[in-house]
A and B are shown apart, each in its own frame.
Chain A
Amino acid sequence: MLRPARRVTISGMPEAATAAAPLDEPRPPRKLYRSSDGRWLGGVARGLAGHLGLPVIWVRLVFVGLFTADGLGALLYAAFWFFVPLGVGGVEAQKPPSLVTTETSPDGRKRLVARKPDKGQIVALLLMVVVAMVFVGNVNLGRGAQAYLLPAVLAGAGVALVWRQADNARRARWVEVGRRKRTLTLLRAVAGVLLVTAGVTGVFVLQGSAAHLGSVLQAALAVLVGTTLLAGPYLVRMTQDLSEERLMRIRAQERAEVAAHVHDSVLHTLTLIQRNADNPGEVRRLARAQERDLRTWLYKPEGTGKDEADEPTTLADAVRRNAAEVEDKHGVPIEVVVVGDCPLDERIGAQMQAAREAMVNAAKYGGDGGAVQVYAEVEGKTVFVSVRDRGPGFDPDSIPADRMGVRESIIGRMERNGGTARLRAVPGGGTEVELEMERVEKTS
């Protein structure tokens, strides 16, 4: 999820063994999935449409068309439903956000709630029933079979209901379903079972005569209750075991993630530190870089751009990034405090460059006195950045002419962009650079 460059090589294990399992490297050949998003019945049509790159409505029409051919469409549909797993692939790009069903659960939950009425599905089901009735009414299969059609359709509807239920259960593995959905689930399951029972009962009644209806129904009910009594506790236990196992698996996954990260970064750093034990500067640099990295990894909230490849877009990001880079390059600890935050614009960008230059100077000339302190604050429209070191300090009025860094990169850059830069000696020793800049007007 987070670390694409996870190495699975464990020291001592032959490389070939790990290479044999290229789990997530190449995309597997596109597999057919039923779509769980925006489906009407089983998601077969949507899944197929996505797979073939066709509009959903075409696929649906084809199914309906085949349906009129002696119910072939229904059989096909049922077969697809049975054999094709429910997945997130194969949805057409109609609703881009819904493609990420596997991702964050709060997002998914929201979407599930929003779709609760499921109007499309209800309409589709009703339509199916009507079509089936018409079909039953029109098709002539011969005297004997004709009578069995209605019970068969009833049973089919029940089976469909229960299957959908199974699909939902499977989907619940990706997105947590709220507690209120549970009762609905139960109701649907019961309705499905009743429908199937009715259908099967119908078949038996037809074989005998209408007079046996009562006793057959009783028998069916008795069998049903018996089965429930026998299998019920077992099923409940199984579901509990399953959910427990799922939880364990998620934990194990998380653990593996942390372990991978620790292996990748922390262990490597510790190894490097052991090798460089007699070089305190290098050790300190490594340790600080590692600390920063781990801290970011641990404390950064989920979903706020954990991938660090992209450019910083806010002041706080930019300040931290700059400080980290200067710290790594010059081996001087830089402590950053940021109050408030704002998006970067071109003026603030210039200020960031000036601040970076100030940090470099502080690290170069004042780094012996201890950590460099960087403080950034956004107050209204003003962005203030201070960089201070505890080095020997120097007289700001007598900046040598060759100190282009200060004159051009800091003072000049700030002034060209409409800000101010101030250098001064701090009472307690050291130098402080103060940079002040107004943010660009939003309206202009």
Chain B
Amino acid sequence: MSDPTEANGTAGADEAAEPAQTPGGGAGRRHVRVVLVDDHRMFRTGVQAEIGQTEQTGVEVVGEAADVDQAVTVITATRPEVVLLDVHLPGGGGVEVLRRCAALMSDTEQPVRFLALSVSDAAEDVIGVIRGGARGYVTKTITGTDLVDSIFRVQEGDAVFSPRLAGFVLDAFASTDAPPVDEDLDRLTQREREVLRLIARGYAYKEIAKQLYISVKTVESHVSAVLRKLQLSNRHELTRWATARRLV
């Protein structure tokens, strides 16, 4: 909610700026090119209307796509910085888009980053796209301000965990019925767990930093570490877990 400027938040020191809800946080100097992938035209139009005023938000929608093939074509052609990706798409779903854009994601010059934006909150959908390489997941009920915020966060290489995603991840890593294959990867550290828990409880990065007496940068690195573990983890039970229980 009030999570405006975590990018310039140094050690969570600036309390004075806290209540001021500047949309997009210093939008003037930032600029990000975005592609919208969603099979509902109404929704694309709505998002476009909400975040597309480039002068105010700093977001420029450079392309739209309604299915997997279109998405791959548009993304390859426009090379956006961030793709807002729906989970359910005709032609194989968001996971398929991620698979076919894997090369673009790992591009060192100008990587394309994906933010999953979905109405589905079935755990296997969500975990699926995250494991496929998306940098974060937000639900479609998100406000325009928060969405712009998340887009910039993803553009900067950070991960975006909504409370719900944090809950899914905690749940997935908590159910340790089988011994992890790779100890380092398959275990969340105490700190990471704490950070995730606070995200799940609705805390913003800055609030988490204050709560745990660490810097916002540290919070970011914890979240990124969790994302990396989630994407690289070779625990089979992650997938099994996701299909076995559909948490809402």
A interface list, Cβ under 8 A from B: 291, 295-296, 299-301, 316, 320, 335, 337-340, 369-371, 373, 375, 377, 379, 386, 388, 390, 426-429, 432
Interface residues of B in 137-192 (CB under 8 A from A): 141, 163-164, 166-167, 170-171, 174-175
CB neighbours (8 Å) of A377 from chain B are: 170, 197, 200
B248, A375: Cβ atoms under 8 Å?
no
Among A299, A337, A371, A429, residue most surrounded by chain B Cβ atoms (within 10 Å): A337
| Interface locus among B37-45, B71-79, B202-210 | B202-210
- Please judge, given known A-B contacts A375-B200, A390-B1, A427-B211, whether A300 and B174 are in contact too, CB under 8 Å: no
Interface residues of B in 188-236 (CB under 8 A from A): 197, 200-204, 206-207, 210-211
- Please judge, given known A-B contacts A371-B1, A390-B2, whether A428 and B200 are in contact too, CB under 8 Å: no
In the bound complex, what is the Cα–Cα distance between A320 and B247 (angstroms)?
Answer: 11
CB neighbours (8 Å) of A426 from chain B are: 203, 207
In the bound complex, what is the Cα–Cα distance between A36 and B164 (angstroms)?
Answer: 48
Which A residue sits closest to B175, measured CB to CB? A340
CB neighbours (8 Å) of A427 from chain B are: 207, 210-211
In the bound complex, what is the Cα–Cα distance between A369 and B207 (angstroms)?
Answer: 15
In the bound complex, what is the Cα–Cα distance between A370 and B21 (angstroms)?
Answer: 13
Distance from B75 Cβ to chain A, minimum over Cβ atoms (Å): 28
Question: B206's contact among A300, A320, A390, A428, by CB below 8 Å, is which?
Answer: A428
- Please judge, given known A-B contacts A299-B122, A299-B246, A338-B247, whether A375 and B174 are in contact too, CB under 8 Å: no
Question: A337's contact among B2, B200, B246, by CB below 8 Å, is which?
Answer: B200
- Please judge, given known A-B contacts A375-B202, A429-B2, whether A295 and B197 are in contact too, CB under 8 Å: no
B248, A299: Cβ atoms under 8 Å?
yes
B120, A299: Cβ atoms under 8 Å?
yes
In the bound complex, what is the Cα–Cα distance between A208 and B208 (angstroms)?
Answer: 101
- Please judge, given known A-B contacts A299-B121, A386-B201, whether A375 and B2 are in contact too, CB under 8 Å: no
CB neighbours (8 Å) of B175 from chain A are: 340
9 contacts between A and B (CB under 8 A): A291-B141, A299-B120, A316-B247, A320-B248, A338-B167, A339-B167, A339-B174, A373-B163, A428-B210
B201, A375: Cβ atoms under 8 Å?
yes
- Please judge, given known A-B contacts A299-B122, A340-B174, A377-B197, whether A428 and B163 are in contact too, CB under 8 Å: no
CB neighbours (8 Å) of B203 from chain A are: 426, 428
In the bound complex, what is the Cα–Cα distance between A335 and B143 (angstroms)?
Answer: 14
Question: B202's contact among A300, A316, A339, A388, by CB below 8 Å, is which?
Answer: A388
In the bound complex, what is the Cα–Cα distance between A370 and B163 (angstroms)?
Answer: 14
Distance from B238 Cβ to chain A, minimum over Cβ atoms (Å): 15
Question: B200's contact among A295, A316, A339, A370, by CB below 8 Å, is which?
Answer: A339
Given A375-B167, A428-B206: 6 more A-B contacts, CB < 8 Å: A301-B246, A375-B197, A375-B200, A375-B201, A427-B211, A429-B19
In the bound complex, what is the Cα–Cα distance between A296 and B248 (angstroms)?
Answer: 8
CB neighbours (8 Å) of B211 from chain A are: 427
A337, B174: Cβ atoms under 8 Å?
no
Which A residue sits closest to B163, measured CB to CB? A337
Among B19, B164, B197, B248, residue most surrounded by chain A Cβ atoms (within 10 Å): B248
Distance from A287 Cβ to chain B, minimum over Cβ atoms (Å): 10
In the bound complex, what is the Cα–Cα distance between A98 and B202 (angstroms)?
Answer: 48
CB neighbours (8 Å) of B174 from chain A are: 339-340, 379
B interface list, Cβ under 8 A from A: 1-2, 18-19, 120-122, 141, 163-164, 166-167, 170-171, 174-175, 197, 200-204, 206-207, 210-211, 246-248
The dominant DSSP class at the B interface is: loop
Distance from A132 Cβ to chain B, minimum over Cβ atoms (Å): 53
B247, A369: Cβ atoms under 8 Å?
no
CB neighbours (8 Å) of B202 from chain A are: 335, 371, 373, 375, 388
In the bound complex, what is the Cα–Cα distance between A338 and B166 (angstroms)?
Answer: 10
In the bound complex, what is the Cα–Cα distance between A390 and B2 (angstroms)?
Answer: 9
CB neighbours (8 Å) of B246 from chain A are: 299-301
A-B contact count (CB 8 A): 71
In the bound complex, what is the Cα–Cα distance between A301 and B122 (angstroms)?
Answer: 10
A340, B163: Cβ atoms under 8 Å?
no
Which A residue sits closest to B19, measured CB to CB? A429
Which B residue sits closest to A389, measured CB to CB? B202
A375, B120: Cβ atoms under 8 Å?
no
In the bound complex, what is the Cα–Cα distance between A390 and B202 (angstroms)?
Answer: 10
B167, A373: Cβ atoms under 8 Å?
no
Distance from A253 Cβ to chain B, minimum over Cβ atoms (Å): 23
B163, A375: Cβ atoms under 8 Å?
yes
B248, A428: Cβ atoms under 8 Å?
no
In the bound complex, what is the Cα–Cα distance between A223 and B163 (angstroms)?
Answer: 74
In the bound complex, what is the Cα–Cα distance between A369 and B18 (angstroms)?
Answer: 14
In the bound complex, what is the Cα–Cα distance between A388 and B164 (angstroms)?
Answer: 15
Distance from B202 Cβ to chain A, minimum over Cβ atoms (Å): 3
Among A339, A375, A427, residue most surrounded by chain B Cβ atoms (within 10 Å): A339
B164, A428: Cβ atoms under 8 Å?
no
In the bound complex, what is the Cα–Cα distance between A93 and B104 (angstroms)?
Answer: 63
In the bound complex, what is the Cα–Cα distance between A428 and B211 (angstroms)?
Answer: 9
In the bound complex, what is the Cα–Cα distance between A277 and B211 (angstroms)?
Answer: 41
Distance from B233 Cβ to chain A, minimum over Cβ atoms (Å): 17
Distance from B243 Cβ to chain A, minimum over Cβ atoms (Å): 10
Which B residue sits closest to A287, measured CB to CB? B141
In the bound complex, what is the Cα–Cα distance between A390 and B171 (angstroms)?
Answer: 25
A300, B248: Cβ atoms under 8 Å?
yes
Distance from A31 Cβ to chain B, minimum over Cβ atoms (Å): 39
In the bound complex, what is the Cα–Cα distance between A390 and B1 (angstroms)?
Answer: 9
In the bound complex, what is the Cα–Cα distance between A30 and B1 (angstroms)?
Answer: 61
CB neighbours (8 Å) of A428 from chain B are: 2, 18, 203-204, 206-207, 210
In the bound complex, what is the Cα–Cα distance between A296 and B121 (angstroms)?
Answer: 11
- Please judge, given known A-B contacts A301-B246, A335-B164, A339-B174, whether A388 and B201 are in contact too, CB under 8 Å: yes
In the bound complex, what is the Cα–Cα distance between A432 and B203 (angstroms)?
Answer: 11
Distance from A288 Cβ to chain B, minimum over Cβ atoms (Å): 9
CB neighbours (8 Å) of B19 from chain A are: 429
In the bound complex, what is the Cα–Cα distance between A296 and B200 (angstroms)?
Answer: 21
Question: A370's contact among B1, B120, B164, by CB below 8 Å, is which?
Answer: B1
CB neighbours (8 Å) of A296 from chain B are: 248
